[in-house]
Structure 1
Amino acid sequence: MRDALLACLDRKRDMVIDLQRELTAIPALGPDNGGPGEREKADRLKTLLAGMGFPEAREINAPDPRVPCGHRPNLAVVIPGADTSRTFWIISHLDIVPPGDPALWRSDPYALVVDGDLVYGRGVEDNQQAVVSSILLGKALLEEGVTPPINYGMLFVADEETGSKYGLDYVAAHHDGLFSKDDLFLVPDFGLPTSEMVEVAEKSMLWYKITVNGRQCHASTPEAGVNSLAAASLFVLKIPKLHERFPAKNPLFQPANSTFEPTKKEANVDNINTIPGRDVFYVDCRVLPEYSLDDVVAAIQGFGREVEAACGVTIDYAVVQQEQAAPTTPEDTPIVRKVMAGIRAVYPGAKPRPMGIGGGTVAAYLRRRGYPAVVWATLEHNAHQPNERSSIAKTIGDAKVMAHVLVGE
């Protein structure tokens, strides 16, 4: 069974190119990125899958009045297995990001270019490589007449690039029995060219805006004002003390500790001879999952009270983004073990290992609902860049890893 599928996948180079060309030609931009959504791309994909003999797609449409059709389409396609109570899900997304400056592209972003093993175009890696890999495996099952041990499910979601409110978050909340606790979930939307990163954990993320209010005056009479820049500078110097409050380390992550970094600084006054009365800066916090972001906020505000007392300023706070980490997928779960075994079998010399990352992925929407999920793919790591590219060989290789997960030995 497995060998027949792998041999079939080896013959799918032309199919990779054809699918990538079809998908790249449709700019599935969400309304937050100035586009009409994913409807046209979803319809084209449904037509392509029907022509290949796949079962009919189930639509889970998230209402969104900002797009012409009034919703954001999410498609689920399932090939039944011998055990129909469980499903191996490959979850990929249909939306893309804008191309950016066209002068930085060597070709039309929406017209596929093939150069040896690489294809170029907006979306070819993020996330059409995953879309195509999942279709390749499904097509191989149909061509070879293989009934997998469990169901094989492909889920194509909307809105990954702008928050997933209308995508996987919506599907996970409104799936009506689509998922079960015994299912296997793979999200091929992050990874390294070496294939070795098997993402099972994420840090919590906090973007915090801090506004220091003093009193503006002429720089020659500082006693008439309260220098907000001096107070903000004192506050910035206190931020590294968060490492002492939250000192834990976790070897899944690199770096292994939580990070707390002052980043953006807004302009205050335009001229040199004015003491500013208002300063605004931001802090980016990536926090290990065992800590509560509410505790981090409380610690920062504690520093702020010290600055207020020392400098005579008042300080306001605003959360720009706050995302408490989802539970970690345990390393001994079947999906982690199966993915790592598949990587070793398909990519000789690769040494896959469970890892955590500092940012969020859509897998969090599954993990929060008790579904262990893995984020993994073998990517060129150039998403969102001009001249985005994807490897044909790695698209096929990733489909082979998926085959190992599905059918095993």
Structure 2
Amino acid sequence: MTTLQARIAEAVENRADRITQTLCDLVSFDSIVKSNPREAGPGERLCQEYLQMRLEKIGFTTDLWDPDGPALYEKYKGRPGANKGRTFEGRPNLGGTLVGKGGGRSLMLTGHIDVVPPGAPEHWTSDPFVPVVKDGYIQGRGTVDMKGGVASMLMAIEILREIGVELSGDVVFTTVVDEEIGGMGSLAMVDRGFRADAGIMTEPTANRIAPLCHGILWGKIIIDGIGGHAELTPNAWYSSGPVDAVQLARQMLDGIDILNRRWMFDPKKNHPLMDLPNQIIITQIKAGEHPSSMAGRAEIIIDVQYLPSEKDAFGLGGHVKREVEAHVGAVCQADPYLREHPARVEWILDADCAEVSAEHPFVTAFQGAVAQAGLSPDLSGFGAHSDIGLPTGLGETPTVNFGPGNPAQSHQPNEKVSIRDLIDCTKSIALAIENWCR
């Protein structure tokens, strides 16, 4: 480690309290996004205005804007990140650029500030938006996913400025909304022209460099039975019904288990950096109309993972959609009723994925910075979806995931991140900026 790098590492350690306070400030904004973005409150805007103020204090030129959802959809329809019906009124994206002296490589730091709803209050030991600092952790909604990462990337560049580190390359800073419901905020950010020679997205990876993530499909399997009185002896379905959609849904769930078992041993569904094979995860089930009536309809919501190697010609999960649809059709063939009244799949969301080569110059440079910060430089996969596909593909900014916190804490009640993780992440990013942009 050079004298300058040692000075950077020491400066980060000396600002542990400010790193902690920065995350507490961010958590206090209830920047919730719901599946219907029109229900979002002012928290996203207020959080972005706070970040804008911090960036401008250290010399960034900033851009705070409400994306035009319908126009973006028309421009990118059928491409990654283009989701119909999105609205961004009062839900701005933030971008900023700190111009270097010239002649150096640029780096983009990016993340999202929207968070999922906290859920039932009784599941929390504290108010989700009143951060609690205790026993070396910060607790609150978004501490892990992913305001901890945003705090680290902000503090990394602030610290470099404070100790007088001069950079030749530009540093680009972007924070987006809408990530938790599909990534159109990142699409808007790339469309706005924010890009760099490389990028770090500070999603929680337990401070491991993750150069790939899963693509995600959300789908709804709809099964139509025939409603009828639950307590009376039914006639045959082919005369007057009823047919229990709950029973049919059980058969479909068993069929999904079979496909998951098959995927466990399919090389196309596995990646050496991923801990688990691709899976179809059941996230919601809705069935029935009345306590004394057989269900006339059942709906099964699925979350389907796919790898970058499985992307179709549009950079999305079209091949995997067809695979799932074919399997649902095969399950229907095993039942005499479903054979004549097959289930259907409606696709809700297709969130793309990306992979940056382990040999990419930025990946190897970042591994060196992480090692200097005392962390493991080994690469890993990010099992969930993140938005790295949009800057990497459309924006031509090869972007990796790297951020503080145990990703398993994401979306959980009593979500919390280690202060040590925050410090180590801030240090790694600061060292990476100095190395890459000098």
Fold equivalence (TM over 0.5)? yes
Structure 1 stretches of at least 4 aligned residues deviating more than 6 Å after TM superposition: 64-69
Q: TM-score, normalised by structure 1?
A: 0.81
Is 310-319 or 37-46 further displaced after alignment?
A: 310-319
Once the two structures are TM-superposed, the CA of residue 141 in structure 1 deviates from its matched residue by 2.0
Cross-structure match for 1:111? 130
Q: Secondary structure at the match of 1:57?
A: strand
Rounded Cα–Cα distance in structure 2 between residues aligned with 1:130 and 1:356: 15
Once the two structures are TM-superposed, the CA of residue 356 in structure 1 deviates from its matched residue by 4.3
Once the two structures are TM-superposed, the CA of residue 235 in structure 1 deviates from its matched residue by 4.5
Once the two structures are TM-superposed, the CA of residue 379 in structure 1 deviates from its matched residue by 0.6
Is 128-137 or 227-236 further displaced after alignment?
A: 227-236
Task: For 1:253-272, list aligned pairs within 5 A.
Answer: 253-256=274-277, 258-260=278-280, 264-268=284-288
Cα RMSD, aligned residues only? 3.6
Q: Deviations over 1:77-104 (max 9, x none)?
A: 3222344574211112233334433344
Q: Is the 8 A contact 1:60 1:74 kept in 2?
A: yes
Q: Is the 8 A contact 1:88 1:151 kept in 2?
A: yes
Task: For 1:317-336, list aligned pairs within 5 A.
Answer: 317-323=344-350, 325-336=352-363
Once the two structures are TM-superposed, the CA of residue 171 in structure 1 deviates from its matched residue by 0.9
Cross-structure match for 2:82? none
Q: Is the 8 A contact 2:353 2:386 kept in 1?
A: no
List runs of 5+ in structure 1 lacking aligned partners.
none
Residue 399 of structure 2 corresponds to residue 373 of structure 1: yes
Residue 405 of structure 2 corresponds to residue 400 of structure 1: no
Once the two structures are TM-superposed, the CA of residue 138 in structure 1 deviates from its matched residue by 1.4
Is 360-369 or 231-240 further displaced after alignment?
A: 231-240
Task: Determine which of 353, 373, 386 is the counterpart of 2:413.
Answer: 386
Residue 20 of structure 2 corresponds to residue 14 of structure 1: no
2:405 alignment partner AA: L
Task: For 1:137-152, list aligned pairs within 5 A.
Answer: 137-152=156-171
Cross-structure match for 2:201? 187
Once the two structures are TM-superposed, the CA of residue 13 in structure 1 deviates from its matched residue by 1.7
Rounded Cα–Cα distance in structure 1 between residues aligned with 2:86 and 2:352: 31
The 1:365–1:37 alpha-carbon spacing in structure 2 relative to 1, beyond 3 Å, is farther
Q: Is the 8 A contact 1:214 1:314 kept in 2?
A: no
Task: For 1:170-209, list aligned pairs within 5 A.
Answer: 170-175=188-193, 178-180=194-196, 183-192=197-206, 195-196=207-208, 198-209=210-221
Q: TM-score, normalised by structure 2?
A: 0.77
Q: Is the 8 A contact 2:55 2:96 kept in 1?
A: no
Q: Is the 8 A contact 1:79 1:138 kept in 2?
A: no
Task: For 1:308-347, list aligned pairs within 5 A.
Answer: 313-323=340-350, 325-347=352-374
The 1:281–1:393 alpha-carbon spacing in structure 2 relative to 1, beyond 3 Å, is closer
Cross-structure match for 1:158? 177
Once the two structures are TM-superposed, the CA of residue 45 in structure 1 deviates from its matched residue by 2.6
Is 335-344 or 222-231 further displaced after alignment?
A: 222-231
1:372 alignment partner AA: P
Is 5-14 or 214-223 further displaced after alignment?
A: 214-223
Cross-structure match for 2:388? 363
Q: Is the 8 A contact 2:222 2:297 kept in 1?
A: no
Task: Determine which of 30, 35, 45 is the counterpart of 2:41.
Answer: 35
Once the two structures are TM-superposed, the CA of residue 299 in structure 1 deviates from its matched residue by 1.4
Q: Is the 8 A contact 1:205 1:323 kept in 2?
A: yes
Once the two structures are TM-superposed, the CA of residue 62 in structure 1 deviates from its matched residue by 1.4
Once the two structures are TM-superposed, the CA of residue 314 in structure 1 deviates from its matched residue by 0.8
Task: For 1:71-82, list aligned pairs within 5 A.
Answer: 71-82=90-101
1:398 alignment partner AA: C
Rounded Cα–Cα distance in structure 2 between residues aligned with 1:389 and 1:241: 36
Q: Deviations over 1:340-380 (max 9, x none)?
A: 332222235x36223142x3212122233143211111314
Q: Secondary structure at the match of 2:143?
A: coil
Q: Is the 8 A contact 1:32 1:162 kept in 2?
A: no
2:236 alignment partner AA: P
Q: Secondary structure at the match of 2:381?
A: strand
List runs of 5+ in structure 2 lacking aligned partners.
71-84, 311-318
Rounded Cα–Cα distance in structure 2 between residues aligned with 1:252 and 1:105: 33
Q: Secondary structure at the match of 1:62?
A: coil
The 1:301–1:342 alpha-carbon spacing in structure 2 relative to 1, beyond 3 Å, is same
The 1:24–1:312 alpha-carbon spacing in structure 2 relative to 1, beyond 3 Å, is closer
The 1:119–1:254 alpha-carbon spacing in structure 2 relative to 1, beyond 3 Å, is closer
1:148 alignment partner AA: L
Greater per-residue helix proportion: 2
Q: Is the 8 A contact 2:404 2:417 kept in 1?
A: no
2:419 alignment partner AA: I
Rounded Cα–Cα distance in structure 1 between residues aligned with 2:298 and 2:88: 44
Q: Deviations over 1:303-361 (max 9, x none)?
A: 1562466765312413243426433222222332233332222235x36223142x321
Once the two structures are TM-superposed, the CA of residue 163 in structure 1 deviates from its matched residue by 3.0
The 1:82–1:360 alpha-carbon spacing in structure 2 relative to 1, beyond 3 Å, is same
The 1:22–1:354 alpha-carbon spacing in structure 2 relative to 1, beyond 3 Å, is closer
Cross-structure match for 2:119? 100
